[in-house]
Amino acid sequence: MERDPEKDRGRRRRRAVVTVGATGRGPGMALRLLIRTPLLLMGLLMTGLAQVPVPASAPRGFWALPENLTVVEGAAAELWCGVSAPGSTVQWAKDGLLLGPDPRIPSFPRYRLQGDPTKGEFHLHIEACDLSDDAGYECQVSRSETGPELVSPRVILSILVPPKVLQLTPEAGSTVTWVAGQEYLVSCVSGDAKPAPDITFLLSGQTISDISANVNEGSQEKLFTTEATARVTPQSSDNGQLLVCEGSSPALDTPIKASITMNILCKWGTESTVGTKDREQELGGPGGTGIMEGSDSQGGNIGVQRQVVGPGKNGWAPQARDCCSPVPPGPPVIEWPGLDEGHARAGQNLELLCMARGGNPLATLQWLKNGQPVSTAWGTEHAQAVARSTLVMIVRPEDHGARLSCEAYNSVSTGIQERGVTLQVTFPPSAITILGSASQSENKNVTLSCITKSSRPRVLLRWWLGWRQLLPTEETVMDGLHGGHISMSNLTFLARREDNGLTLTCEAFSEAFTKETFKKSLTLNVKYPAQKLWIEGPPEGQRLRAGTRVRLVCLAIGGNPDPSLTWYKDSRTVTEPRPPQEPRRVQLGSLEKSGSTFSRELVLITGPSDNQAKFTCKAGQLSASTQLVVQFPPTNVTILANASALRPGDALNLTCVSVSSNPPVNLSWDKEGERLEGVAATPRGAPFKGSAAARSVLLRMSSRDHGHRVTCRAHSTELRETVSAFYRLNVLYPPEFLGEQVLVVTAVEQGEALLPVSVSANPAPEAFNWTFRGYRLSPAGGPRHRILSGGALQLWNVTRADDGLYQLHCQNSEGTAEALVRLDVHYAPIIRALQDPTEVNIGGSVDIVCTVDANPILPEMFNWERLGEEEEDQSLDDMEKISKGSTGRLRIHHAKLTQAGAYQCIVDNGVAPPARGLVRLVVRFAPHVEHPSPLTKVAAAGDSTSSATLHCRARGVPNIVFTWTKNGVPLDLQDPRYTEHTYHQSGVHSSLLTIANVSAAQDYALFTCTATNPLGSDHTDIQLVSISRPDPPLGLKVVSMTPYSVGLEWKPGFDGGLPQSFQIRYEALGTPGFLYMNVLPPQATTFTLTGLQPSTRYRLWLLASNALGDSGLADKGSQISVTTPGLDQPSGEPDYQLPTEQPAGPSKLPLLPVLFAVGGLLLLSNASCVGGFLWQRRLKRLAEGISEKTEAGLEEDRVRNEYEESQWTGDRDTRSSMVSTTDVEPYYHSMRDFSPQLPPTLEEVSYPRGLTSLEEENMTFPGHVYDEVERLYSPSGACGPLYDEVPMGSCDLYWPEDRYEDARGIYDQVAGDLDPMEPDVLPFEMRGQLV
C-alpha cells in the first residue's frame, strides 16, 4: 500500500500537536506554536509546488523533516525524512554516529529505513525502543552531481521509562498494628523511571498532605528514583483500612500502587498498673512496635501479630473500656477429628485445630507435647476476634500415651489457659520373621519359627503350605515396645518330593486390622537325585584326525537341585583354559534344562593328548564314559648335533628324532635342497600312545656351508602331512673376499665415492683398515672420509688427487685377508691452452688449437661452434676437426673473410659442466673503403662562416691510416681550418675531416680519402658543394596494399644541405586532377597512403623538398603505378596496418556545418594569397638570413661538433680521436639529425642495424665479422678492440652518451649552421611545419 506524503505529513503535524499538549509547560507551548506556524505555511507551499512539474535538474531539498518525538519504552518510533531528489544516498546519524545507507542497518537490528527510496522516503523506524535510543538524530544526504550535501535539523527522540515497582516501608501487603492518635513515619521508594515519578499517599481513601519527596539518580544514566516520606496519625476509625502509596508517571496509563492494612488499638487512662516507661521500652519506645512471631514445627511462619502501644495524655493507664479496650482471651478449644478423642493410628496424618476467641489483643497460641513446645505458629482474624493455631503431625507408635496441650494468653492475661489430650495409638507389627531353613532332603522333617514385631493390640499367627493350612506345634505371646505385644509360632512337618517348590507362608491377623494382612513367605525346596545319565558323541573306535571338532553331550533326567554335570578326562576335571592369544581348543558349555532333562556340552578340537583318552561325565553318584582315537602328525621333530663349534674340514653328525605320531612316519634329510642319505636310529618311548622314529646323517664342513640349513622331514603317508625341522650350520673361518668384490670404483670430482667391501667371514671381521699411498686412514673418520660399519670406505668432496689404489686389510679371530681397490676420479674438462686471437691472412691456412685437462679422455669429446647471427654463418663444413688425446684442432684452409669471427671450443667428456673457450679468428685483409655512389656529396654554405664535415669509412685488418687530398693535392692538416678525427672499432675505421669557414672559392672541390694498411690501400671521393634543392628520392616501391590504402617505402636522396620533407602526389587514372599528401613525420622513409578506392589504378609521385625548393618530377625512380585490389581479393597489408582514413560515403550534411565549411574555404583562399606574397619575400631574404648568423651561433656550433673527451692517436699533429662507428648511414647525409649509434654493452647481443644495407650493396665482407669478436667475445681482462691504437678506458667500449647521440649528427653541421638564426630571419616554411 503506497503512502501519500501529504497525508502522512498531516498526520505527523497532528501527532506533534498532541505531543506538545501532553508534555508542554508554559513558554514551551508558545515556542512550539511559533515554530509550527511557518512549518504549516511551508507545508502548504510544498503542497502547491507538488502539483507543478519540476525539471530533473531542480535543486534538491527536504520535503519532509524529522521532528522531536517522545515514546514510551517498548513502543515503536518513526522519524521522517523526505528527500526531493530520488536516487540520492541518504543515511541517518545518531549522536554523530553514522548508521550507514543500508536500509537494513545491520549494526542496529531494531533499526531500518522505511518508505520508498524512489519517492525520496527514508524514514527511520525503530522497533521496541529502549533507553539506548534516547538520543539526537539527523538525516544526511550525500553530495552528488545535482547538488551539495544536506543535513536535516537535529531532533531529539525521548524515551519514557515507567517505574516498575514501589517499595513501601512497612512492607507492602502486611498488617500493622498501630495505636490511635499516635504519629508514624511511612516511606515509599519508586523504581528506576524517566522522568522521575510523582508519589502520593492515601489514608482510608483520603490524600495525605504531609509528604516530603526527594528525586535521586537511578541505577543508570538518564534514570531517576523518587523517595517520599509521609507522617501518618491513625484514628480508631482507620481500623482495618488501607494505607496506599501511589506512583504516577507520563509513561503510565494508570498509577502503580502498594498498600498495608492497619490494625488500630486505643489508649487507656492514668490508673494503669500494667506498665510505665519500662513497658514503653519493652514495646519499642514511643510509637514503637512490639512484634511476636511464631512458626510451626516445619520452620515456616504461619502468622504475625504486631502490637503497638503509645503513651497517653497521662502516661500508660486504663480508661473506660471502649471498642478497643484490652481484655484477656477466652479459653482454648481443641477440635479432634473423629468421635474418639485421643485415639489415633500409627502413620496417620493428624491435624488438630486450637482456637481462642476474644481478647484485645487477640490470644497468642502454642502447642506442647509432654510439656515441650512443638509449634509456636498461630494466626489471628480480627473480624471474628479469634486466634487459631493448627498442629500437624504424623502419628508414630512411640506417641502412644503422649499428652498434647494448647496454651492461650495475651499481654493482659493473668495466667495461661490450657487444654490437653492424651494419645491412644493403635499400630500393627512392623515386620514378621521366619527362622529356620526351607530346604531339606525328601522324607526328612522341616522345623521353622515365625516371630512378629511389637503390635497393639496383639495378633494371631497361622501357617500355609500352598493352599493347605498347617497346624503349629507351639504358640507364645510376649510384651513388646510402646505398650504392644510380640507373637511367636513354631512348625514341624515332613518334606515330600511333590511339595517341592510350594510356598510356605506365616500369616498374622487381628480384628483391629481387618483391612490389612501381614505375612511372610518362603519357597520349600525338597532335594532328590537324578534318575538317568548318558553321553552322546562319535562312536567308539572311530578314527579322528587331529584338529577335528568333536561334540560330546552329557544328558541327565530329573533331580533337585538341578544335577551338576561334571566332565572328566582321564580322572582330571575338564576346564576351559583360555591362554592369551591362543585359539580355544576346549569349549565347555553351561548346564541347560529342557523340562526335566538336563544337558552339558563339551566341544573339543582334537589333539595328540586326546588319543585313547577316556572322557567321563558325572552327576552325583551317576557317571558315563567314552574313548576317542585320534590320528596326528609328529608332535615335535628335533635335530641333535654332536658338535657346536665347526671349522672347515670338521665332521658333523646330526640325528633327527620324531617324538610321537599316529600312525608312524618316515624321516628324510636334505641340505639346501640337496638330498642326503641317512641311517636309521633307535627311538625312545612315544607319548600320547603314539609311535616314535629317529634317523642320523654325517657331514664334512667347509666355509661355503656356513649359514646353510640342514632339514629333516617327517612324512606321514596316511595323513599326507610332513613336519620339518632344520639345523643352521655355524662354520668359523677367516675372511674371504667374494667374487663380486669391486676392484675399480669410478667417482666424479667434488662428488662422493663409495669403495664397497664384499667379504665373507665368521665371525664377522673385527676391523677394516684402509691404506692409501702408504698412509693409513683413521678408522674414526676424517673431514672427507668415513669407514662404514660393513667396512666400506665412503669419501666425499673427491678431488683428482684422491685417484689411486686403496689397500683394504680385514681381520677376525680366525685369520686375515687383503684386497686392492682402485678409485678412478672423473673430472670436468678444463681448457689449459687456447690461442686467442688466432690470426691468418686471407687465403692462408691456420689451426685453432684447444688443449684441455680432463678425465676421462674421450675420442669425440671435442666440438666446435661458430658464433654468428645467421645460421649460415655457423656452418663449419669447410673446416677440418682433428682430435688427438687432450688436444683438439679446428683446421681452416684458404681463409676467407666470411670465416672471421668468434669460435667456441666445447669439450664434454660426460662430466658436467662442459668446458667452453672462446677464440677470435682474425682474417687480415687490405682496406676496403665504402663506395656508396660514384660521388658522395656534402653541402655547406660557402660564406666563410660555415663549417663542413666529410666522413670516410673503411674496413680492414690490421688498423688503417687515412690520408686526405683536395683536387689531387695532399691536404695540409696543419692548417687550423682542417681538423681530422679518426675512429677505430674492430675492423671498421672512420675518418672525419672538419673544414671550418668554408669558402666557395677555396673549398668547393673534390676531396679524396685514402685508407692504407700493410696489406694494401683504397680510396673514395667526396664532393663539397653549396646548399641546394634536394635530390629526388630513390627506390620507391610498394610494400603493402589494401582496397583502400597502399604502403610505400623509399630511400632519401641528397637533402641539399637543408632539412628535407616528402610529399606524395597521386592521381586516379581516368579522373582529372591530382591529390597531394604530406608525409609525417617529415624524415620518414615509409608511409601508408589512405583514402583510396578499391579496384582502381593510381599513379603516384614522391617529391622531396627543403627550404630551397623540391626535387621535381623528372626522376623515374620517384614515381610508380599501382592498382588497388577489389574487396573480394586478399589484402597484401599486414594486420596491424589500419587505414587512417575511411572512404567517404554519401551522407546527408547538416546545413550549419556546410555554411561554416564554405566560409572557412573563403578565408583559406584569402590567406593563401597573402601567404604566396610573403613566400616570395622570404625567398629573396634567404641568402641574407644565412649569412647573418650571430657569433653566439658559431660558438654553439663549434661546441656541438667538438669531441673534448676524445683520445688522441699516436704523435700525429692532426687531432684524431678514436670513436666506434658501426652504422652505415644513407649515402647523402643530413647534417641536422646526426647522433652516433652507441654500441651495446657487453651484456647485450644486439648487432648494428646498418650492416644490412652493406649486404644489399653486395659488399665483399659482412659487417658483423669483427664487431662481434670485439664486443661479445673479448678475453678476460681485455679492454677495447684488438687493433685500437689508444685504449678507451677500463672496459669502456662505448662513447659517452652526452657527446654522440646519433651517428648521423656528424654530417649535420652544415645544415646546423642555420640553427642559431633568429626566428624571424628564416622563412615561415623553415621555422615550422608547412600546413
Residue 544 contacts residue 550 (beta carbons within 8 Å): yes
User: In this predicted model, what pLDDT tens digit does every residue of 1092-1148 receive, in sequence order?
Assistant: 999 999 999 999 999 989 888 766 668 899 999 998 876 654 433 333 333 333 333
Q: Is 435's pLDDT higher than 70?
A: yes
Region class of 677: left (phi > 0), else alpha (psi between -120 and 50), else beta: beta
Nearest to 504 by CA among 459, 460, 472, 458: 472
The share of the chain scoring above pLDDT 90, in percent, equals 45
Q: Is 510's pLDDT higher than 80?
A: yes
Nearest to 441 by CA among 532, 529, 564: 529
- Supply the pLDDT for residue 620: 83
Give the integer Cα–Cα distance in Å for 733 and 909. Answer: 45
Residue 925 contacts residue 957 (beta carbons within 8 Å): yes
Q: Is 869's pLDDT higher than 70?
A: no
Give the integer Cα–Cα distance in Å for 398 and 1319. Answer: 143
Q: Which residue has the higher pLDDT, 382 or 1257?
A: 382
Q: Is 514's pLDDT higher than 60?
A: yes
Residue 210 pLDDT grade (very low, low, confident, very high; cuts 50, 70, 90): confident
- Supply the pLDDT for residue 581: 54
Name the one residue in this structure whose C-alpha cell is 687530398. 965
- Supply the pLDDT for residue 899: 86
Q: 3-state DSSP call for residue 251?
A: coil
Q: Which of 299-303, 721-725, 983-987, 1319-1323 is the most confident on average?
A: 721-725
Nearest to 957 by CA among 906, 903, 1013: 1013
Q: What residues contact 702, with CB distance under 8 A and at least 6 apart?
A: 648, 649, 731
What does the CA dihedral 395, 396, 399, 403 come to, rounded to 10 degrees? -10
Give the integer Cα–Cα distance in Å for 120 and 30. Answer: 32
Mean of per-residue pLDDT scores for the chain: 77
Q: Is 1328's pLDDT higher than 70?
A: no
Region class of 899: left (phi > 0), else alpha (psi between -120 and 50), else beta: alpha
Q: 3-state DSSP call for residue 33?
A: helix
Q: Is 1255's pLDDT higher than 80?
A: no
Q: Is 504's pLDDT higher than 80?
A: yes
Q: What is the CA radius of gyration of the chain?
A: 68
- Supply the pLDDT for residue 1186: 35
**SS3 per residue for 667-701:** EEEEECCEEECCEEECCCCCCCCCEEEEEEEEEEC
Give the integer Cα–Cα distance in Å for 355 and 329. Answer: 10
DSSP conformation class of 1275 = P
- Supply the pLDDT for residue 904: 94
- Cell numbers found for residue 569: 578326562
**SS3 per residue for 749-767:** CCCEEEECCCEEEECCCCE
- Give the pLDDT mean for 947-969: 92
Nearest to 1217 by CA among 929, 984, 947, 958: 984
Q: Is 786's pLDDT higher than 90?
A: yes
φ/ψ of residue 1076, rounded to 5: -125, 145
**SS3 per residue for 810-837:** EEECCEEEEEEEEEEEEEEEEEEEECCC
Give the integer Cα–Cα distance in Å for 913 and 748. Answer: 11
Residue 1001 contacts residue 942 (beta carbons within 8 Å): yes
CA end-to-end span of the chain: 70
Give the integer Cα–Cα distance in Å for 769 and 1069. Answer: 104
Give the integer Cα–Cα distance in Å for 133 and 124. Answer: 12
Nearest to 911 by CA among 1005, 830, 815, 1004: 830
Residue 1086 pLDDT grade (very low, low, confident, very high; cuts 50, 70, 90): very high
Residue 517, CA distances (Å) to 319, 457, 487, 511, 512 in order: 68, 15, 15, 11, 11
Residue 105 contacts residue 111 (beta carbons within 8 Å): yes
- Cell numbers found for residue 1288: 678507451
User: In this predicted model, what pLDDT tens digit does every residue of 474-499 receive, in sequence order?
Assistant: 889 998 888 889 999 999 999 988 88
Residue 281 pLDDT grade (very low, low, confident, very high; cuts 50, 70, 90): very low
Name the one residue in this structure whose C-alpha cell is 501527532. 15
- Cell numbers found for residue 206: 483520603
Q: Is 1035's pLDDT higher than 60?
A: yes
- Supply the pLDDT for residue 1179: 41
1081, burial (CB in 10 Å: exposed 0-12, middle 13-18, buried 19+): exposed
- Supply the pLDDT for residue 250: 92
User: In this predicted model, what pLDDT tens digit does every residue of 312-362 receive, in sequence order?
Assistant: 333 333 333 344 567 888 899 999 888 788 889 888 899 999 999 888 888
Buried b (16+ CB within 10 A) or exposed e, 282-305: ebeeebbbbeeebebeeeeebbbb
Give the integer Cα–Cα distance in Å for 71 and 158. Answer: 6
- Supply the pLDDT for residue 769: 93
Nearest to 1124 by CA among 1100, 1147, 1145: 1100
- Give the pLDDT mean for 1-13: 42
Residue 1 pLDDT grade (very low, low, confident, very high; cuts 50, 70, 90): very low
pTM of structure: 0.36
- Supply the pLDDT for residue 553: 95
The share of the chain scoring above pLDDT 70, in percent, equals 74
Q: What residues contact 1328, with CB distance under 8 A and at least 6 apart?
A: none
Give the integer Cα–Cα distance in Å for 918 and 835. Answer: 9
- Supply the pLDDT for residue 1160: 62
- Supply the pLDDT for residue 270: 33
φ/ψ of residue 818, rounded to 5: -130, 155
Region class of 438: left (phi > 0), else alpha (psi between -120 and 50), else beta: alpha
